[in-house]
A and B are shown apart, each in its own frame.
Chain A
Amino acid sequence: MILNYFKIALRNLWKDRTFTFLNVIGLSTAFCAAFLLGMFAIFGLSFDQFHENIGSIYEVYTNSQTAKGTEISNANPIPFAEALKEEVPGVKKITRVANGGPLVTFGEKTLKLDVLWADRDFFDIFSFPVVGGSKINPLQNKSSIAITRTTAQKIFGEMNAVGQTVTMRRDNEDVPFVVSAVIEDIPEASSFQFDAILNFTDLPASFYAANKDRWDAHNHPVYLQLDAETSAAKFEKATAAFSNLHFADDIATAKRDGAKPNSDGEYRQIHLLPFEDISFTDFNSNSSKVNKTLPYLILGIAFLILFIASVNFINMGIAKGSQRLREIGMRKTLGASKGQLFLQFWGESIFVFSLSVFFGGLLALLLLDKFQTLFETKASFALIASPGIVLGLLLSLLLITLIAGGYPALLMSKLDTLLALKGKLQHTGKNKVRDVLMAVQFCIAILLISGTLVLWSQLDFMRTKDLGFNKEQVITLPLNTKKDRAQLLQLLRNALEGKPGIISVTAADNILGLGKDGRSSTIVMGFDYKGREVKTNLLNVDYDYPKTLDIELIQGRAFNKQYASDSLSIVINEAMAKEFGEKDPLSVRFLLNDSIQYSVIGVVKDYNFQGLNKTIEPISYFMNPSSPKYYAFIKVAPNNLSQSYDRVKEVWNTLEPDTEFLGSFLDENIDRTLKEERKMTTMISAGSILAIILSCIGLFAISLLVVNQKRKEIGIRKVVGASTSTITVLLSKQFLKLVVFAFLIATPLSWYLTTQWLQNYAYHINLSVWIFLAAGGIAFVIALATISVRTIQAALQNPVDSLKTE
Chain B
Amino acid sequence: MITITDLEKYYATEEVRTIALNKLSFKVNEGEFVAIMGPSGCGKSTLLNILGLLDDPDGGSFVFNGIEVAGFNERKRADLRKHNIGFVFQSFNLIDELTVFENVELPLIYTGVKPAERKERVDAVLEKMQIMHRRKHFPQQLSGGQQQRVAVARAVINNPKLILADEPTGNLDSSNGNEVMDLLTELNETGTTIIMVTHSEHDAKYSHRIIRMLDGQKVTENVLSEYISK
A binding-site residues for B, Cβ under 8 Å:
1, 4, 7-8, 11-12, 15, 326-327, 329-337, 340, 417-418, 421
Contact = CB atoms under 8 A, between A and B. Distances in A.
A376 to B, nearest CB: 50
B54 A333 contact: yes
B102 A333 contact: no
A37 to B, nearest CB: 37
Contact of A4 (B83, B102, B111): B102
Given A337-B78, A417-B54, A329 B93 contact: yes
B107 A335 contact: yes
A333 B81 contact: yes
A1 B109 contact: yes
Nearest to B157: A334
Contacts of A1: 109
B49 A418 contact: yes
A335 B97 contact: no
Contacts of A334: 82, 106-107, 110, 154
B110 A340 contact: yes
Contact of B95 (A330, A332, A340, A417): A330
B6 interface: no
Contacts of B79: 335
A5 to B, nearest CB: 10
Contacts of A340: 110
Contact of B78 (A8, A11, A329, A335): A335
Nearest to A328: B95
Given A337-B78, A340-B110, A417-B54, A330 B97 contact: no
B78 A332 contact: yes
Contacts of B102: 4, 7
Given A7-B102, A8-B98, A336 B110 contact: yes
Nearest to B112: A1
Nearest to A335: B82
B81 A327 contact: no
A15 B154 CA distance: 24
A288 to B, nearest CB: 63
A333 to B, nearest CB: 6
Interface string B78-89: 110111000101
B75 A335 contact: no
Contacts of A4: 102, 105-106, 109
B73 to A, nearest CB: 12
Contact of A418 (B55, B75, B81): B55
Given A4-B109, A418-B55, A335 B81 contact: yes
13 contacts: A4-B102, A8-B98, A12-B97, A329-B93, A330-B94, A332-B78, A333-B54, A333-B93, A334-B107, A335-B83, A337-B78, A417-B74, A421-B54
B46 to A, nearest CB: 10
A246 B111 CA distance: 87
Contacts of B111: 335
Interface residues of B, number: 27
A331 B97 CA distance: 13
6 shortest A-B CB distances, which residue pairs? Answer: A335-B82, A335-B110, A11-B97, A334-B107, A330-B93, A327-B95
Interface in B103-130: 105-107, 109-111
Nearest to B82: A335
Interface string B59-101: 0000000000000001100110111000101000111111000
A710 to B, nearest CB: 23
Given A1-B109, A4-B102, A4-B109, A333 B97 contact: no
Contacts of B94: 330
A389 B200 CA distance: 69
User: Which of A329, A333, A340, A418 has the most C-beta atoms of chain B within 10 angstroms of its own C-beta?
Assistant: A333
A334 B104 CA distance: 11
A417 B93 CA distance: 13
Nearest to B52: A333
A334 to B, nearest CB: 5
Contacts of B105: 4
Contact of A326 (B49, B81, B93): B93
Contacts of B83: 335
Contacts of A8: 95, 97-98
Contacts of B75: 337
User: Which of A12, A15, A326 has the most C-beta atoms of chain B within 10 angstroms of its own C-beta?
Assistant: A326
Contact of A421 (B78, B93, B96, B109): B93
B96 A327 contact: yes
A365 B91 CA distance: 51
Contacts of B87: 333
Contact of A15 (B55, B97, B106, B110): B97
Given A15-B96, A327-B95, A335-B111, 4 more contacts: A11-B98, A15-B97, A332-B78, A418-B55
Contacts of B93: 326, 329-330, 333, 421
A11 B75 CA distance: 29
Nearest to A14: B97
A326 B139 CA distance: 14
A12 B81 CA distance: 27
A329 B97 CA distance: 14
B155 to A, nearest CB: 9
A8 B94 CA distance: 13
B227 to A, nearest CB: 30
A329 B109 CA distance: 16
A331 B55 contact: no
A117 to B, nearest CB: 73
A129 B74 CA distance: 68
A658 B110 CA distance: 83
A763 to B, nearest CB: 63
User: Which of A326, A329, A334, A336 has the most C-beta atoms of chain B within 10 angstroms of its own C-beta?
Assistant: A334
A337 B52 CA distance: 16
A542 B154 CA distance: 99
A39 B102 CA distance: 45
A153 to B, nearest CB: 62
A6 to B, nearest CB: 12
Nearest to B81: A335
Given A8-B98, A417-B54, A331 B106 contact: yes
